[in-house]
Chains A and B, each alone.
Chain A
């Protein structure tokens, strides 16, 4: 079974242990995203849908915007759902609100 050890792992320190390196990963992701966005200039898309003036699947930057906004709102909405849906871990073990497990 697992052991807890908040020190280095067998004397090794890992690249991701440094906060500066985690930031590097984040900036690298931004760079990759800029490059993927720029890829929209390199080819011509054919719009299948007329909706939204053909922007939906034919226009510049639709997928990046939809992916970013969709995922962002997904998380914020889910966070609000917690107010209604979240219960303590033993919620179903406690019957009739008595606190005793059955």
Chain B
């Protein structure tokens, strides 16, 4: 029993439910907060003591469900999800209400359930719990926009769930119910061994279910739509889990699937154009997240040990630096009330610490030497080079210059520098700063470990967490120089565009994206269908009414007081007619008899 209750997913989920249900007078706020922080710490400590293998198994309807399967791929995600839960919880203490950290820790528990699931049924279960609990984090903003965005978000998450369920059921049908068919494993290999292959419908449905949560192109707009509508803390929790466990699921089930290479390449490239013209700086971060997920998807598609290591390492680093950037913008949102690039500027005077921490996040996402993405994205880039994907490499290089442009420069520049907007506010609350410092320190540590290893021969605890052994030198002369050249000349392009006035000004606006298809076109079609239905209904009603009126009029004419059938007739004529009827009856009777 303890194995179940103390497994990371259930410990966090049940723990947060118990804490939420305990009355306030029994559990003062500070104690509740201490316990909330203790949950992920204790859970990680317990997890660390476990060997690779299967835990928390039980039989249900003839299926063996495995809630906890620890292997090198799941382990690293378990570690980062605990860290993200801890950092997000600390961050969210800026409000007195504990709803956000409670839901956040619960959501983290469901995400841990996804990455630890040993079979497809357990995966599906946590997949859905994560969908619902994360929607609460959008709604918690309690604005009209957040209500709509949360509903659309939940709808898309449910589509992913339905695709996954349909895929699992079809898979059972395709491969038969042999024991172990529902193991969560490399599905490409499994189906090929069964002579079915990736083009099999079951595989396609599961692939799309994962792809929707990993923000594949055209399936990505729920992320852009919903995350920026959440609260400062809500967005920090949201940015950490759903997309990353989708990356994990793709790495588990479809490593080396070549379709992923070009899907990922598209994901790295197209969002940066949108990010340049987007005004809401947290929405810029959402685009930037799609772009970073693209690098991970490419890595999974290449599928070599180096590439998978790169994808997983980059997911780990992204949770920290994207979390840090969301936290910095969340601090601005909290202090100023909005994060519109058009109306901000000069905030470094009021929020110097947040500015500094935001710049560390910006340097990390841009893959500057010494910062985290330099030590993670390089693995993916090199894997592309080793496999001689020239055009892919060019796209990734362009996307790297672009990410520096919109996330590395645009975010800190328009929020904290640019022209002085005249906004004067307080520095971020202490809980926000503590959380940001933790994320910044971790981001720098990831970037510095390889350098320390090179100079002092120290071990790299981060690379040791990766699923495959790392034989890769990050800090080579070529690498440091070429990356710096790329980034500094990208910065020069930005500065030149700003000074020449060619840079498009930040404008209060929205830009159409794929969600336009269902928020506008879909709505218009729905309106059209509704109008047609109303018109049909109205016409039908009118016709039926007219027919009824005619019938009534006819009846009235014949049956009314003046009508032929309504008159009072003489008894004699009645008797005559009865006699005629009887005579006719007799004639017919004898005729039939004859």
Residues of A at the B interface (CB closer than 8 Å) are: 1-6, 9, 12, 14, 16-17, 26, 29-30, 32-33, 36-37, 39-40, 43, 45-46, 48-49, 51, 56-57, 63-72, 74-79, 81-82, 84-89, 91-93, 95-96
Minimum CB–CB distance for B366 against chain A, Å = 11
A40 contacts B481, CB within 8 Å? yes
Output the nearest chain B residue to A61 by Cβ-Cβ distance: B485
Q: Which 6 A-B pairs have the closest CB atoms?
A: A67-B489, A71-B493, A78-B276, A2-B425, A63-B485, A67-B486
Complex CA–CA separation, A82 to B390 (angstroms):
31
Query: With A and B bound together, what is the CA distance between A100 and B282 in angstroms?
Result: 27
Least CB distance, B410 to chain A, in whole angstroms: 10
Q: Count the A-B residue pairs with Cβ separation under 8 angstroms: how many?
A: 176
Partner of A5, one of B272, B388, B422, B477: B422
* Interface of chain B, main secondary structure: helix
Would A14 and B349 count as touching, CB distance under 8 A?
yes
Contact of B512 among A3, A87, A95 (CB under 8 A): A87
Q: Is the pair A33, B509 in contact by a Cβ cutoff of 8 Å?
A: no
Q: A6-B422, A63-B483, A87-B509 are in contact. List 12 more A-B contacts (CB 8 A).
A: A2-B424, A3-B425, A36-B488, A49-B385, A64-B486, A67-B487, A72-B496, A74-B272, A85-B277, A89-B509, A92-B520, A96-B527
Partner of A49, one of B393, B421, B494: B393
Contacts of A72 in B (CB 8 A): 493, 496-497
Q: Which residues of B contact A86 (CB under 8 A)?
A: 277, 507, 509-512
Q: B495: which A residues are within 8 A, CB to CB?
A: 26, 29
Q: A9 touching B349 by the CB < 8 A rule?
A: yes
12 residue pairs A–B, Cβ–Cβ below 8 Å: A2-B424, A3-B424, A29-B495, A33-B492, A37-B485, A49-B393, A51-B390, A56-B390, A57-B385, A65-B489, A79-B276, A86-B277
CB-defined contacts of A51 to chain B, threshold 8 Å? 390
Task: Sort chain B's interface into a size bin.
Answer: 35 or more
Beta-carbon contacts of B376-407 to A below 8 Å, as 1s and 0s?
A: 00000000011010100110011001101100
B-side interface residues toward A, CB under 8 Å?
Answer: 145, 272-274, 276-277, 335-337, 348-350, 385-386, 388, 390, 393-394, 397-398, 401-402, 404-405, 417, 420-425, 477-478, 481-497, 499, 502-504, 507-513, 519-520, 523, 527
Which residues of chain B come closer than 8 Å to A69, judged between CB atoms? 493
Say whether A74 contacts B510, CB under 8 Å: no
Residues of A near B394 (CB, < 8 A) are 56
A49, A72, A84 interface centre (most CB from chain B within 10 Å): A72
- Contacting pair B510 A88 (CB below 8 A): yes
Given contacts A4-B422, A77-B273, A86-B277, contact A29 B481 (CB under 8 A): no
- Let me know if B349 and A67 touch, CB within 8 A: no
Instruction: Give every chain A residue within 8 A of B481 (Cβ-Cβ).
Output: 36, 39-40, 43
B-chain residues with CB within 8 Å of residue A92 when the two chains form the complex: 510, 519-520
Q: Is the CB of A4 within 8 A of B424?
A: yes
Nearest residue in A to B523 (C-beta to C-beta)? A95
Which of B273, B398, B405, B503 is close to A66, meaning CB atoms less than 8 Å apart? B398
CB closest chain-A residue, reference B509: A86
B-side contacts of A93, CB under 8 Å? 145
Which residue of chain A lies nearest to B417 when distances are taken between CB atoms in the complex? A16
Query: Looking at A39, A43, A78, A84, which has the most chain B CB atoms within 10 Å of its CB?
Result: A78
A87→B493 CA distance, assembly (Å): 27
Q: Give A93 to B145 CA distance when docked, in angstroms.
A: 9
Q: Are A63 and B486 in contact (CB under 8 A)?
A: yes
Chain B residue with Cβ nearest A35: B488
**Residue from A75, A84, A87 within 8 A of B497 (CB atoms):** A75
In angstroms, Cα B503 to Cα A37, docked, is 24
- Is A71 touching B490 in the complex (CB atoms < 8 A)? yes
In the assembled complex, the CB of A38 is this many whole angstroms from the nearest CB of chain B, namely: 10
Interchain CB contact (< 8 A) of B489 among A3, A5, A43, A68: A68
Q: A49 vs B386: C-alpha distance in the bound complex, in angstroms?
A: 10
A4-B424, A43-B481, A51-B390 are known contacts. Are A91 and B510 too (CB-CB below 8 A)?
Answer: yes
Contact A87 B423 (CB under 8 A): no
A74 shortest CB reach to chain B, Å: 5
Verify A67–B424 contact, CB threshold 8 A: no
Of the residues A9, A39, A48, A96, contact of B385 by C-beta under 8 Å: A48
User: Which residues of B lie under 8 Å from residue A77 when comparing CB positions?
Assistant: 273
* Bound CA–CA A14/B355 (angstroms): 15
Residue of B nearest to A25 (CB): B495
Whether A68 pairs with B390 at a CB distance below 8 angstroms is no
Given known pairs A33-B488, A66-B486, the reply for A26 and B499 (CB within 8 Å) is yes
The answer to whether A29 and B492 have CB atoms under 8 Å apart is: yes
Contact between A68 and B493, CB atoms less than 8 A apart: yes
Q: Which residues of A contact B398 (CB under 8 A)?
A: 66, 70, 74
Query: With a CB–CB cut-off of 8 A, which chain A residues contact B512?
Result: 84-87
Q: What B residues does A30 contact at CB under 8 A?
A: 492
Q: Indicate whether A82 sits within 8 Å of B510 (C-beta atoms), given known contacts A2-B425, A75-B405.
A: no
Is the Cβ of A9 less than 8 Å from the Cβ of B405?
no
CB distance from B495 to the nearest CB of A (A): 5
Q: How far apart are the CA atoms of A49 and B390 in the complex, in Å?
A: 7
Give the complex CA separation of A64 and B425 in angstroms. 39
Q: How many Å lie between the Cα of A26 and that of B499 in the bound state?
A: 9
Q: Which residue of chain B is the closest to A101 with respect to CB atoms? A: B144
A74-B272, A79-B277 given; A2·B489 CB < 8 A: no
For residue B423, which residues in chain A have a CB less than 8 angstroms away from its CB? 2-4
B509 & A75 in contact (Cβ 8 Å cutoff): no
Asked whether A67 lies within 8 Å of B510 as measured between CB atoms, the reply is no
Measured CA separation A40–B490 after assembly (Å):
17
**How far is A71 from B497 in the complex, measured between Cα atoms in Å?**
10
- Select from chain B the residue with minimum beta-carbon distance to A63: B485
B residues less than 8 Å from A64 (CB atoms): 485-486, 488-489
Please tell me if the beta carbons of B485 and A39 are within 8 angstroms of each other in the complex: yes
Q: Contact at A1–B425, with CB atoms within 8 Å?
A: yes
B465 to nearest A CB, angstroms? 28
Residues of chain A with a CB closer than 8 A to B425's CB? 1-3
Alpha-carbon gap, A71 to B285, bound state (A): 18
Residue of B nearest to A16 (CB): B417
Query: In the complex, which residues of chain B have a beta carbon less than 8 angstroms from the beta carbon of A1?
Result: 335-337, 425
